[in-house]
Structure 1
Amino acid sequence: MGNKLKGKDLIKLGFPRNNSINIALGQINRYCKKEKKENILEEAKEVLLAPEKFRGNAIWGKVAEGLVKPVEVRRHQLRNTRAPFLIYGENEIDEQAKYQLYDALKLPIAVQGALMPDAHSGYGLPIGGVLATENAVIPYGVGVDIGCRMCLTVYPIKASYLKGKQQQLENILAEHTKFGMKETHVIKHDHEIFERAEFQDIPLIKRLKTKAYEQLGTSGSGNHFVEFGIVNITDENNELQLPTGDYVGLLTHSGSRGLGANIAKHYTYLATKQCPLPKNVQHLAWLDLSTHDGQEYWLAMNLAGDYAKACHDDIHKRIGKLLGAKAVAKIENHHNFAWKEQVNGVERIVHRKGATPANKGELGIIPGSMTTPGYIVRGLGNAESLNSASHGAGRLHSRRKCKEKFTKSDIKHQLKLNDVSLIGGGIDEAPMAYKDIEKVMANQQELVEVSGTFIPKIVRMDK
C-alpha cells in the first residue's frame, strides 16, 4: 500500500538526497494513501524525469517544485524600521491593535499599511488592519473567515411594511435562515460554484466539497446576521439610480463557513513551516506567490470568497421569494480578503482584514450594531488608506468582557429603546459591545462619503 512507501524507495528511483524526498513523502502520505505502491512509484518516476510537466499539479506540483527550484526555508527577522502607514481615528483604537500593525509593518515583505477607525486586536493582523506586501500573501492577514462580506438587497416596498407585517417577517427569518455549526437547510440548492475546477483539482478543496454543499445559504455564529431594516437613500445622484426616500432592505453578514476556515488552517500551517518568524509575529507567516503553495492558496482563497458570495446570494434568493418582491438594488463587498492592486504604480498584494474596499466610486456597506444605523458608502480612493475604510463599528468590549459587564435585560432595554426585534443573539453580541458608529464614520470622512443608511428592525443571529 502507498503508506508503506519509504524514502529509500524514492532514492532508488533517482531522487536527490535532499528535501524533495521529504516533500514527496509528505504529499504521498497526505493524498495517495489508498493507491498501490507500484502506481505511486510509477508516477513519482514520471515527475522525476520531467518535473516541469507537473508544475501546478495539485498532488505532484509541490514535489516538482522541490526538484526544480526548492522553496528556501530560512528564519526571517523583522526590519528595524516600519513601512509607511496611517492610522485613522487613532484615539479610539486600543494600543495592542496598533502594536500588531507596527509589527506587521516591519515584515521584510511589507510595503505600506493602514489602520481603520473601527480597529481592535486580533490574530496576525489586527481587525481593521490593511497591509500591502510584495508578492506574498499572509493567510492570517486575510483571516480565518475568508471572504466574510456584507450584502444589502433593496426592495421597492414602503418602510411601514416592516411594522405591519412584523410577525410574518420574524417567522421568515426564524424558519428560513440557518446559523452556526449544526443548522443546514432541509431543501438544499445547487450552485454553479460547485462546478469550479478547484473542487476537483485541489485535494483539500475536494474533501471539503460535501461540507460546502451542505452549508450553502447558511450563516456563521458570532457577529453574523440576517436582518430586515429601513434603507434610506439620501444622495440624489446615487449609482443605484433610486429616488431618495425609504425602502425595505435585507442585510446579511457572513463568510465562507467551514470551507474558508479549513483553507485558512491548512495554509497557515504551511506558511509557518516555510516562513519561520520570531514567536511574537509567527501568525504573520506568509506564502510566496511564486511557490506552489502560494499559488494554490490564492486559488483556494478566491474560491472561498466566491463561495461566501454564493451563500449570500442563496439567502437573499430564498427570502426574496418568500417576500414575493423583486429587488431594485444590491450592494455587496468583502472585508476579509487579499487583492492584487496597484500601490504607487506597482502591483502589490493588499490584505484587508476587517476592512472595506473603498476604491474611487466603489460602493460598500459599513454596518453599525443591531440598534444603530449602517451606512451605504462610496469610496473616495484614498491612496494613503490603501483605498480602504472600516468594516463596521468595531468592538469596544471583548466577548468575555460583555459576559461580565452586561445582562440579557440590558440588551432587552436597548432593543426596546430602538424598536428592534431580535431572534437569537448572545450577550457577547450586545449592542453595547460596539464602538459608536457615528464617531467611526466621522473618523473616515476622507475615505468614504455616505450615500444612504440602513436601520435594523428585525434581526436574526445564532442562538
Structure 2
Amino acid sequence: MNALNITGKQLIAIGYPQSPAITAARHIAATFAETQEAEVLATLAALLAAPEAYTADAVWASLAAMLMVPADETIQLKDPSSFVIYGPEAIEAGARAQMQTAVRLPVTVAGALMPDAHQGYGLPIGGVLATNNAVIPYGVGVDIGCRMALSIFDAPAAVLETRAGFYANALLQYSAFGAGNGFSGAQRADHAVLENAAFGMNRLTRSLKDKAWAQLGSSGGGNHFVEWGTLTFANADNEWNIPAGQYLALLTHSGSRGLGATLAGHYTKVAKEICKLPREAQNLAYLDLDTDAGQEYWLAMHLAGDYASACHEVIHQKMTAAIGAPLLARVENHHNFAWKEMLNGQEVIVHRKGATPAGAGVLGIIPGSMTAPGYLVRGKGNAAAINSASHGAGRQMSRTQAEKTFTPAELKNILQSHGVTLLGGGLDEAPGAYKDIRAVMKAQEALVEIIAEFTPKIVRMADDGSRED
C-alpha cells in the first residue's frame, strides 16, 4: 500500500506557516496510507487550530510542540459559530475545517458552503463568506473574476454531427490555451477594457497591461474550456421566449489570466503584512475597505473582473462570426469575486470563491464536466445561502489523484460513450474526478431553478498540463 504524500501546497492551503513545521508534518503524514488522506488532512487542520490538544499524542506531539512557538498574532478569532452546508455528505473534512476558521474572523457576518465545495487556499472553493466592510484576497481567489458565458444560436443542434469538423476547427483556430499563453502580433484582439483607467493605478497594474493585451481572448489552463454543445429548453418559460427544443450553443469557462493571478498574489501579501492572524487563518488576511490598501485591491479586483469578461466577449464574438448563425441570447455569470450586497438589512461584502450569485431572478450557468450536462439556471434568492449556488460539479479528487486513477484508454472510452470530441485536455480533468452534477443540483433545489440543460459535444481544453484555473 502506497505511503501518503501530503504536499507543502496542501498544508499551506489549510493555514500552515512556511516553516519547518511543513517538513515535519509531511514526514509524519508519510507514515499513513494514501487512502487515509482526508482523515490525515482533517487531523492536521485540527492540530493547527489547537496544538495544545496534541502534546501528549504519540504520533503528533513533536509537530504540536513546533506549532506552539509563540507568533506575532495581534488579531484574535471569534468563538466558533455555525454556517449552512448544502449537500454535506459530499463535502470533505478539509473544506469544512477551512470554513470553520473563516466564520471565526472578527469581520465575518455569515458563511455558507455550496454542494460542490472542496478544499482550497484560505476560503474553500464553494465557500461563501459575508464580511463587514472587509475584503479577503484569498476569499476571492487567485483567478479573479473567473466566469461562465453561454451563447445560444438560432441553429439546429444537429450541425454538431453533420459539420463536426467545421466546428472543431473553429475552436482550434479562434481559441488559445495554456498557462502563460496568448496571442502575438496581428492576432491580438482589441477591446475597450484595455483603456480602463485602473491600468494606470500603480506601477504593478501598468506593468501588467501588455501581458493582458497579449492574453485577451485566451483561456489559460486547468479546468478552463471552450466547447460547443446542445442546449435543450423543455418549454418556453425563459427570459427570451425561446421555443422548446434543442439549439446550438457555445459555453466558455475562464478568468483573468496572468493579470488576475499576479494581482491576487500581490494583494494577498499586502493583506498578510497588515492583518496579523493566527496561523490557521493567515490565508484569510483581510483589508479594511476604508483603507488605501483596501480600496486599491477593490479597484484591482474589478479591473481583473472586467478583463475576464472581455476575454469571454472576444471569444464569443470570434466564434459567432466564424459560424455565421444568428444569436438568440447570451448569459454570463462569474465567481471568484466579492460583491457589495444587502443581507438581512445590512450591507456586507459577499465573497463567492467558486460559487455563483443566485439572487432572485439572477441568471447563471452551472457546468458539470466534459461529459456531464451543465445547467442554465435562475436564482431563487435564498438568504440562508447568502443568495448563492454552486459554480459547478466540484472536484471529488485532486488532480494528482485523478492522474493516478484514470488511464488514457478509460478516458477515451467514456468520451466515445458520450459522443464527445476532446481537443486537448488531460487525465486530471477526467469526468470521474468530479462530483455527480445531478446530485449537486439536487442538493441545491432551494437555491436555483433549472431553465435549460447543456450537453457538451466538442470540447477544447489546455493540453500542456497547465494548472492555471
How high is the TM-score relative to the length of structure 1?
0.83
* Native 8 Å contact 1:376 1:450 kept in 2: yes
Superposition pairs of residues 28-427 of structure 1, within 5 angstroms: 75-82=74-81, 84-186=82-184, 187-427=187-427
* Native 8 Å contact 2:144 2:256 kept in 1: yes
Deviation at 1:259, TM superposition (A): 0.6
**Any idea what the Cα deviations from partners look like across 1:391-414, whole Å, max 9, x if unmatched?**
000001100101111111110011
* Native 8 Å contact 1:120 1:394 kept in 2: yes
In structure 2, C-alpha distance between the alignment counterparts of 1:88 and 1:336, rounded to whole Å: 19
Q: Which amino acid aligns with 2:276?
A: P
Q: Which runs of 5+ in 2 are unaligned?
A: 1-71, 464-469
Deviation at 1:74, TM superposition (A): 6.9
In structure 2, C-alpha distance between the alignment counterparts of 1:143 and 1:182, rounded to whole Å: 18
In structure 1, C-alpha distance between the alignment counterparts of 2:291 and 2:73, rounded to whole Å: 15
Deviation at 1:189, TM superposition (A): 1.5
* Native 8 Å contact 2:180 2:220 kept in 1: no
DSSP-derived class of the 2:319 partner: helix
* Native 8 Å contact 2:181 2:220 kept in 1: no
Task: Say if 2:442 is the partner of 1:449.
Answer: no
Once structures 1 and 2 are overlaid, which stretch shifts more, 114-123 or 195-204? 195-204
Q: Which amino acid aligns with 2:337?
A: F
Percent of paired sites with the same residue: 55
In structure 2, C-alpha distance between the alignment counterparts of 1:377 and 1:115, rounded to whole Å: 19
DSSP-derived class of the 2:240 partner: coil
* Native 8 Å contact 1:74 1:274 kept in 2: no
Q: Which amino acid aligns with 2:150?
A: L
Deviation at 1:237, TM superposition (A): 1.8
Deviation at 1:203, TM superposition (A): 2.2
In structure 1, C-alpha distance between the alignment counterparts of 2:201 and 2:119, rounded to whole Å: 36
What is residue 436 of structure 1 aligned with on the other side?
436
In structure 2, C-alpha distance between the alignment counterparts of 1:89 and 1:208, rounded to whole Å: 40
In structure 2, C-alpha distance between the alignment counterparts of 1:303 and 1:249, rounded to whole Å: 28
DSSP-derived class of the 1:328 partner: strand
DSSP-derived class of the 1:157 partner: strand
In structure 1, C-alpha distance between the alignment counterparts of 2:79 and 2:181, rounded to whole Å: 49
Runs of 4+ aligned residues of structure 1 deviating over 4 Å after TM superposition are none
Count matched residues: 390
* Native 8 Å contact 1:117 1:440 kept in 2: yes
**Any idea what the Cα deviations from partners look like across 1:3-23, whole Å, max 9, x if unmatched?**
xxxxxxxxxxxxxxxxxxxxx
Deviation at 1:148, TM superposition (A): 0.4
RMSD: 1.1
In structure 2, C-alpha distance between the alignment counterparts of 1:267 and 1:431, rounded to whole Å: 34
* Native 8 Å contact 1:333 1:364 kept in 2: yes
Q: Which amino acid aligns with 1:443?
A: A
In structure 2, C-alpha distance between the alignment counterparts of 1:211 and 1:274, rounded to whole Å: 29
* Native 8 Å contact 1:229 1:248 kept in 2: yes
Deviation at 1:182, TM superposition (A): 4.4
- Mark the structure with the bigger radius of gyration: 1
Deviation at 1:244, TM superposition (A): 1.3
Deviation at 1:199, TM superposition (A): 1.1
In structure 1, C-alpha distance between the alignment counterparts of 2:295 and 2:318, rounded to whole Å: 35
* Native 8 Å contact 1:74 1:275 kept in 2: no
**Any idea what the Cα deviations from partners look like across 1:33-76, whole Å, max 9, x if unmatched?**
xxxxxxxxxxxxxxxxxxxxxxxxxxxxxxxxxxxxxxxx9721
In structure 1, C-alpha distance between the alignment counterparts of 2:106 and 2:234, rounded to whole Å: 45
Q: Which amino acid aligns with 1:118?
A: D
In structure 2, C-alpha distance between the alignment counterparts of 1:228 and 1:338, rounded to whole Å: 30
In structure 2, C-alpha distance between the alignment counterparts of 1:312 and 1:241, rounded to whole Å: 24
In structure 2, C-alpha distance between the alignment counterparts of 1:134 and 1:160, rounded to whole Å: 50
Q: Which runs of 5+ in 1 are unaligned?
A: 1-72
How high is the TM-score relative to the length of structure 2?
0.82
DSSP-derived class of the 1:102 partner: helix
Q: Which amino acid aligns with 2:107?
A: I
